[in-house]
A and B are shown apart, each in its own frame.
Chain A
Amino acid sequence: MYTGSITVADTPLLRYVLSRADDALVLGHRLSEWCGHAPVLEEDMALSNMALDLIGQARALYTYAAEVEGAGRDEDAYAYLRDVTSYANLLLVEQPNGDFAQTIVRQLLFSAFIDPYWRALMTSSDPTLAAIAAKAEKESAYHLRHASEWTVRLGDGTPESHERAQQALDTLWPFTGELFTVPAGDRGLIDAGVAVDPETLRAPWRATVARVVERATLTLPADGWMQRGGREGRHSEHLGHLLSDLQYLQRAFPGATW
């Protein structure tokens, strides 16, 4: 018996829910890679806590996706049995951890976006999404606080930490344009009050990031060419490797229960 990747129904709500779940899972997975290897034990605890928050969010969203699809699948089917081109997460969250500065700046850029996003989604006309957003918002608010404090310390710390933080900001900046893109299928959901229009968050996001970057004595990069494609399944090479780790057992032993 060989069971390959699943094919998921292509409806706007399902695509939308899965894309948000994928963001949370992929970023949670990245943070969990630090476990046992963080620069100080205190940060080992912090990064693991945030990984657990994000994996929890992913599970709630995948579970809702299963309900939306109604094909008798569970959270793990979506996480473990979709191939790289079916994943619809942002390119930003799949970028490698790099050094601690890159991980922290990635957290800052994403959390500064997703925290107001969840807050806006709390008034979604879809009650399940509104409930998931209410829980996730508290978590992302803390992630933003944590990332902001560390960005300031790295930026305004030593010459080396400043250099590393600026490098991280410059490296990740081209992935921030995608935060505000609206996939074709999302437009109807936004109009129906189910989803949030990310464009409305662009100014607050930029203000939050600019405030932290200034405190950190860093320089906001210029808005050059922005990478995109994650929402359409056009990923960087990094995601495939992440999924080979993540999905290994489910793929090696098809159909087994763990």
Chain B
Amino acid sequence: MYAQSLNQQVEGTTAPEDAEAAARFQARVDAEERIEPNDWMPAAYRRTLVRQISQHAHSEIVGMLPEGNWITRAPSLRRKAALIAKVQDECGHGMYLYAAAETLGVTREQLVDELLAGKAKYSSIFNYPTLTWADIGAIGWLVDGAAIMNQIPLCRCSFGPYSRAMIRVCKEESFHQRQGYEIMLTLARGTAAQKVMAQDALNRWWWPCLMMFGPPDAQSQHSDASTRWKIKRFSNDALRQKFVDATVPQAHFLGLTLPDPALRFNEATSHWEFGEIDWTEFKQVLAGNGPCNRDRMAARRAAHTSGDWVREAAQAYAAKERARSAAAAGAA
């Protein structure tokens, strides 16, 4: 489950909606009430949620691919079973999220079509390749670790279906990060070659993971609306710092080195300070120029297209069955 900051561009205030209704809506949000699908909501709130939840869902589904790349090559039967279960969870979480988005009046098919047409975004992190088995450890530990930072606050999101989906997801994902860390620990305590593999994976995944939280607050395109609507509760930089503070000691425990010469602990603030993030790389990956963007989309399109005839068959059979039972009822 990967609820990275996806550069939500919150719609500006829209047409002159019922100001009274808007005030009532905001009062409910302020009182920490949950907004349900049939409740009145500002059009911009609805649009923002559809975009954020669907991007979150797309991230789950595309996120199956980099880890799925190692299912057939997992090095033990125990690891293989755990990895299948984890990637399968991501599929399930994508489905929970699509369902949450659908309560807002869109269909899963529309959302998937947008993704396959290249019109929807998903988390940039999945456009990096998984080169070795250690990448499976690094993704579980770091990517899922970063995702958790973002998802726990979303459990309290003002929109009921999103919040409920996130609660279920967070509960199910509690094993994902531990699974990854256990892999890293095994490698770090393994042969020299395994340790090299683990360090290399950390070197490659560290910076892209820090980018997952989105641009620095100063440049963030987030308007205040998401915060005011209690969709977003912490800033990108705050979550990123929280992630770094939690992760650095875990890396040290593994005996691995973080690929950041500027990393230092600030006694006064009790925070780990880190170096400059390469935002050019982030923008390029989001723009479609990451190492795997084309492969990821090609894989999803292939799955969807080669499933066309299956979906048609199921619908055709259902229609025939309806006709048959109608005929039987008519004859009776």
Contact = CB atoms under 8 A, between A and B. Distances in A.
B332 interface: no
Residue with the highest number of chain B CB atoms closer than 10 Å, among A157, A158, A245, A246: A157
Given A45-B92, A52-B84, A258-B79, A164 B68 contact: no
Contact of A36 (B68, B85, B187, B193): B68
Interface string A246-258: 1011100100111
A256 B183 CA distance: 13
A157 B309 CA distance: 9
Interface stretch (B15-23, B281-289, B298-306): B298-306
Interface in B72-119: 72-81, 84-85, 87-88, 91-92, 94-95, 98
Contacts of A32: 71-72, 80, 84
B190 A256 contact: yes
A105 interface: no
Contacts of A58: 77
Contacts of A68: none
Interface stretch (A109-117, A148-156, A171-179): A148-156
A26 B64 CA distance: 22
A43 B75 CA distance: 26
B94 A41 contact: yes
Residue with the highest number of chain A CB atoms closer than 10 Å, among B76, B190, B310, B316: B310
Contacts of A245: 72-73
A39 interface: yes
Contacts of A33: 71-72
B61 interface: yes
Interface string A23-42: 00100010011011111111
A36 B77 CA distance: 19
A256 B190 CA distance: 7
Contacts of B80: 32, 55
A36 B301 CA distance: 11
B291 interface: no
Say what secondary structure dominates the interface of chain A: helix
A253 to B, nearest CB: 6
Contacts of B85: 48, 52
A16 interface: no
B138 to A, nearest CB: 15
A62 B84 contact: no
B316 A44 contact: no
Given A32-B71, A76-B77, A253-B191, A40 B310 contact: yes
Contacts of B79: 258
Interface string B54-80: 000000010011001001111111111
A154 B310 CA distance: 7
A242 B84 CA distance: 17
Contacts of A36: 64-65, 68, 87, 91, 299, 303
A181 interface: no
B56 to A, nearest CB: 15
Nearest to A78: B77
A90 interface: no
A156 B320 contact: yes
B75 A51 contact: no
Given A35-B84, A75-B77, A258-B75, 14 more contacts: A33-B71, A35-B71, A39-B303, A40-B307, A45-B95, A48-B85, A52-B81, A79-B77, A158-B312, A158-B313, A160-B309, A161-B313, A256-B191, A256-B193
22 contacts: A32-B72, A35-B88, A37-B299, A38-B303, A38-B307, A39-B303, A39-B310, A39-B311, A40-B307, A41-B94, A44-B88, A44-B91, A58-B77, A80-B75, A157-B312, A157-B317, A161-B309, A246-B72, A248-B73, A249-B74, A253-B191, A256-B194
Interface of B: 61, 64-65, 68, 71-81, 84-85, 87-88, 91-92, 94-95, 98, 133, 183, 186-187, 190-191, 193-194, 299, 302-304, 306-314, 316-317, 320
Closest 6 CB pairs of A and B: A39-B307, A157-B313, A161-B313, A258-B75, A48-B88, A36-B68
